[in-house]
Chain A
Amino acid sequence: MNRRLIDSVWGVVAWVAGIVFVFPVIWMVLTSFKQENAAASNPPSWVFEPTFDQYALVFERNMTPFLLNSLTASLMSTLLVVLLATPAAYALSLRPVEKWSDSLFFFISTKMMPAVAAFLPVYLLVKHAGMLDNVWTMVILYTSMNLPLAVWMMRSFLLEVPREVLEAGEVDGAGLITSIRKIILPIVSPGLAATALICFIFAWNEFFLALNLTATNASTAPIFLVGFISSEGAFLARLCAAATIVSLPVLIAGWLAQNKLVRGLSMGAVK
C-alpha cells in the first residue's frame, strides 16, 4: 500500500514535469487562436474567444508554395535515401563485404563533419550550375545529409533478421528476390518506416542549407517562418499560427515513430 502511494506521488511529479515541458508548445497553439491584441497582452490572457483569423491570414500570405516545396524536398530525399541506404545496409550486415566496418564508419564520419565546413564549394558549384533556388538541389543535399543515419539505422534493423531462417530459405532454393520479399521485408518493414520518418523529420526541419541556397521558387517552410517575421514585425499570434502549421507534420510523424525514435537518433546504437 505504502509502495503504491509512493508510486502515485512520483506519477504526479512526472505528469507535472511533462506538462511544464510541453507548455511552450501548448502556449504556441493557444496563442495561434488569439487576436493580436490578446496575444500581446501583459499579463497573459487565458480566457479568449478562439478565432481562425490568424490561420486564414497566414495562408493569404501565400504559405502554400513553401509547404509544397518542403513536402517535395522531404519526401523525394527520403525516397532517395531509402533506395540508397537499404542495399548499402544489406551489404554491411547480412552479406557483408570485406572491410565492412570501414565503410560503416566512413558513413558516420561524413555526418560528423559540420555542414558549414564543406558548404562553400557546394554553394559555388550549385551557383555555377545554375541550380540555386531549385528544389532538386535541396533533394540531393538532404539525401546526403540523411544517408549516414539511414545506413546505420537500416543496418541495425537488418541485423535482426535471423541468419538461420535466411540460410534455410537459401537451402530450399529461395532466390534473392524471394528471400527479400518473404523473409527480410516482413521483419524490417517497421524499421524501414521508422527510418523514413526520421529522415523526413530532419529534411523537413532543415534551415541552414535552405536559407543559403533558395530564394523565391524553392524556399521551404522554415524560410517562410523567418521571412514572415522580418517583414511583419512581431505579430505574435500570426507567428504562432504559422509555427504551428509548419511543426504539425513532424509532430505527427514523431508521435507515430516514437518507439523507434531513440534508435534512429542514436544511429541504431540504442534499442
Chain B
Amino acid sequence: MRLPNRLLLFPTLAAVALILAALPVRAATPVLDAMKEELQRSVKLLSEQPVPVYYLSYEVTEDRNVALSASFGNITRSSEGERRLVDIDLRVGSPQLDNSHPIRGDLFGNFRSFSRVEVPTDNPAALRNILWYETDKKYKRAVEQLTKVKANVRVKVEEEDQAGDFSPEAPEKWLDDPLPLNFDRASWNDKLRRYSAPFSSSGHIYEADAILTAAAETRWFVNSEGAEIRISQTYYRLMITAFTKAEDGMELPRYESFFSFDPDGLPGDGVVLRKVEKMIRDLEALRAAPVVDPYTGPAILSGAASGVFFHEILGHRVEGHRQKREDEGQTFKKMVNQKVLPETFSVVFDPTVRSIESMDLVGAYRFDNQGVKGQRVEVIKNGVLKNFLMSRTPIEGFSRSNGHGRKQAGRSPVARQSNLLVEVGETHSRQELKTMLIDQLKREDKPFGLYFEDIQGGFTMTGRRIPNAFNVLPTMVYRIYADGREELVRGVDLIGTPLTTFSQITAADDQVEVFSGSCGAESGWVPVAAVSPGVLVSQIEVQKKEKSQERTPILPLPESSG
C-alpha cells in the first residue's frame, strides 16, 4: 500500500532540533573526504577477495528536526532531535547479474531490509571506523546473496525481462553548504496557538491541532565510480487538522497543509486564519451533510484531488522496477507508444522544478539517492505513454536511470515519484467543466455527478496477488445536480482499477493546484508533490467509507471549555 497521506507524515518526524546557530559554511569537506578515503580503501581491499566488489557507495543522511504542536490554542508538544544514518550499496557479481537481483519464490527474501546504522559527522575517524565495519558485514552478506541469486536464476524459468541489474551512470560532483534550521520558535509557538484556538468556538470539533515540523536534511554521497555529492535541503510544513463526528458516529476530518523550503515561504496569518475559518464552517456543514450510497457516474476532481488520483493510478505504475518484478501487475509495461490519455494530456515527473506559482514543490531534488541527477521525465506525451521512472535498475528498453532512485534513510532505493505534473494543452474554465458534466447527466439520465474538492490522501495496490485497485480518500465531496445545484455530502471514497479509470478522463480545467505529501512504499517514505488542474472523469465509482462505530460524546462540552 502506498499512502501519500499528509497525516502520515508526522509520526516519522520524531525528534529534534535546532534552531539558532547557523552552521559555519565549511570550505573543507571532512565528511566527504572520510567517506571517500574509506570507500577507496574498502574497494581496494575487497577487490582482492575471491569474489571482488564491483560497486560501492556510501550515503550519509543527517536529519535535524523540530516539531511543535498546539491544540485548541495551547502548546501540547515540543520536541527536537537530530540523527545521522548511513546506507551502503555494495555489489558483487557484475552489472548484468549481481547480489541485488530479486530471488523468485522466496516469500521473505524480497522484503527489502531496513538497516539503522548511525554514524557521526563531526568526527571523520569515527565515521571511517563505522563505515569499515558495516562495509565488511555488507560484503559478507553480498557474497552469500550472490550465491543464492545464481542458483535461483538456474533453477527457475527464464525471466521475461532480461535487462541487467545495474545501469552505468556518469559520476556527479556537487557541493551544497549544509543548511541550518532557521526559524523563530517563539513566534511559531504563538502562531500555532492562534491557528488552533478558533476551533474551540465550535462545540462539535473534538480534535484540532496545528503542527509545525521543520527539518533540515543534509546528504553526503560517494561511490566507487567517483561521485562526490553534498546536498542540503530544509523543509517547513504547517499542518492543521481537525475532526468532528456526525450523529451517526462517522468521523469527519479536515486537513490543511502548507509547505515551503523556507520558513518565510509559509503563508501569513491572514491566509491561514481564513483557511481555519473555512475548516470550521466545512466541519459544521459536514456534520449535517447527507451520506452518499455507492454510485458510479461522472465526476470533477479538483486539482489537488486529481493530483493524488494521478499519483495513485499512474505514478505508482510507471515506477520502473515494477515493470520487471515478476510479482508486479505491470499495467503499463506493454503499452509504451500507445495512447493512454486524451491527446491534450501530458504527464511529467520533474524533480528539477522547485516551485509553481510561488508554491514550493516538496518532490524537488538535485540528486537522487543513487547520486544520479534528478531529470525531467515525460512519462505521457500528448496522451501517449513514452517513458518510465528509472532508478539504476534497468528494464527492457530502458537501460539508464533518470534520477528517480529514491528512498528513506535506512532503506534500499527503488524507482519512486518526484513532482508529478499533469500538463494539459487545451483547458476549460471550471464552469465549462461543470457544464460538460451536466450535459452528460442529462444525456445518460443520471440524477447527479460528484465534485471532489479536497482529499486527505490515497493508496493503491500494484501486485498480482491482490486486485490492482486504487483508493482516493476525499474529505470534501459535493453532489452536482442536473440543474446546477451543488450539495455537500459525506461518507465515500473514490475507487477504481487503473486502466478502466484512465480511459474515462476526458477534459481539464485551468485551476492548477498543488498537493504536497509524503509517499510510502518499499523504499520507505519520500516527499512527493502532485500538480494538476481539475479534471472531468466521465465515470468514477465511489464506495462507502470505513466508519467509526463510536457515538458522539455523551456529556456536553464542559462549560469552562466553550
A pairs with B: no
Interface residues of A (CB under 8 A from B): none
